[in-house]
């Protein structure tokens, strides 16, 4: 059993995995379902993910035991964190059981990202199971804007009640994520800032990005980190923070008046591929080494074929060691993003199709 360093990462005696660019494998995002009760315009627009959409069948989805086995093998290779995602992960029944299994691995951090609409019913169970961190998506406080984005029956108050339930359950500090799309919800930046200042929670805005071939993404709809920080800083002076680690996705600042922290994930205007230490395991058991990866390792097929832990380790290790993905950097180079996205835009669709014939963010787990 590996010992752990001060960051909870396993000391694996030289067995850590590195890709072609020297990036170690430290985090695994596990999609436990490809289904969601929202149809957010930037992620799963209803015209593409309607009643006829071919979602994974129960027999195709990895069991909790199979997920645990993959994580256990990778834990011996330096993996320190697992984030459970979807779709909407709280649609997966008995999710607390998986959390307990994963937390039986010493030092492993387990987090979960949810749209929050079902959180009231699950927060206590998740905390009791040992879940370390919660991230909740909330793209608007205004109900009309929320419905425009989520295309669901849920309301902002449902999400806020979920956050309150998590607080009562014992989660001290949550991350609140808001995807900002120009012309849709940039007017929600300051209401969200006002709501979560002094809350103890970490509000993070996310640049609207090309989550797949279905959301009609264009750079002109991106509100950049520079713009977001400028809007906040115009009312509340901000103090920049140094990045905690090269793999940190968000640029964090503190309010000068001590009201807490706020950040932006600038994956479009300031891509961070160089520090990416994350792999993604889909609900159907495909391991992608990038959100926009060109190919995947079919882990489920290996397991069903009777692969031993040693054989599984070899396949997983080879998949990571061959990794050379840097889609976001290539997209940024092609489009030369500026704060207002200049008019001479090189269409990204052809580039993305060439690099990633598979997939939607909702399938890969974000």
**pLDDT tens track for 191-208:** 999 999 999 999 999 999
Residues 6+ apart with CB under 8 A from 230: none
279 vs 26: CA distance, rounded Å: 8
Q: What is the largest CA-CA distance in the chain?
A: 60
Query: What tens digit of pLDDT does each residue of 50-106 get?
Result: 888 888 999 999 999 999 999 999 999 999 999 999 999 999 999 999 999 999 999
CATH of domain 3-364: 3.20.20.70
| pLDDT computed for residue 43 by the predictor | 83
141 vs 16: CA distance, rounded Å: 43
**What's the CA dihedral at 220, 41, 249, 362 to 10 degrees?**
-130
| % pLDDT > 90, the chain | 67
Sole residue written with tokens 């205004």: 142
Query: What tens digit of pLDDT does each residue of 115-127 get?
Result: 999 999 999 999 9
Whole-Å CA distances, 178 to 115, 187, 240: 10, 12, 20
pTM: 0.86
Residue 64 vs residue 241, higher pLDDT: 64
């Amino acid at each position: 059993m590996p010992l752990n360093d001060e960051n909870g990462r396993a000391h694996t005696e030289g067995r850590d995995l590195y890709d072609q660019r020297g990036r170690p494998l430290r985090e695994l995002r596990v999609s436990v379902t490809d289904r969601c009760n929202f149809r957010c315009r930037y992620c799963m627009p209803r015209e593409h993910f309607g009643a006829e959409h071919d979602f994974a069948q129960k027999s195709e989805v990895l069991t909790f035991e199979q997920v645990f086995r993959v994580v256990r093998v990778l834990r011996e290779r330096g993996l320190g964190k697992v984030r459970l995602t979807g779709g909407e992960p709280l649609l997966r029944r008995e999710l607390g059981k998986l959390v307990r299994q994963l937390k039986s691995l010493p030092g492993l951090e387990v987090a979960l990202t949810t749209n929050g609409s079902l959180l009231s019913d699950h927060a206590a169970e998740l905390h009791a199971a040992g879940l370390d961190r919660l991230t909740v998506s909330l793209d608007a406080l205004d109900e009309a804007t929320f419905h425009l984005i989520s295309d669901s029956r849920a309301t902002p108050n449902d999400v806020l009640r979920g956050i309150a339930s998590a607080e009562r359950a014992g989660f001290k500090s949550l991350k609140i994520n808001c995807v900002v799309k120009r012309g849709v919800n940039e007017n929600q930046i300051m209401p969200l800032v006002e709501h979560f200042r002094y809350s103890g929670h970490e509000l993070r805005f996310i640049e609207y990005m090309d989550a797949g071939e279905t959301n009609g993404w264009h750079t002109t709809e991106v509100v950049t980190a520079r713009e977001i920080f400028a809007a906040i800083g115009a009312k509340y002076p901000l103090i920049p923070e140094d990045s905690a680690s090269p793999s940190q996705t968000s640029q964090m600042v503190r309010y000068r008046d001590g009201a807490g922290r706020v950040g932006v994930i600038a994956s479009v205007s300031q891509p961070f591929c160089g520090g990416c230490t994350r792999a993604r395991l889909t609900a159907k058991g495909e391991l992608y080494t990038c959100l926009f990866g060109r190919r995947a390792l079919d882990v489920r097929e290996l397991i069903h074929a009777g692969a031993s832990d040693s054989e599984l380790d070899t396949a997983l290790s080879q998949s990571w060691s061959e990794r050379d993905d840097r889609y976001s950097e290539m997209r940024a180079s092609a489009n030369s993003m500026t704060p207002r996205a200049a008019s001479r835009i090189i269409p990204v669709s052809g580039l993305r199709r060439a690099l990633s014939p598979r997939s939607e963010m909702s399938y890969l787990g974000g």
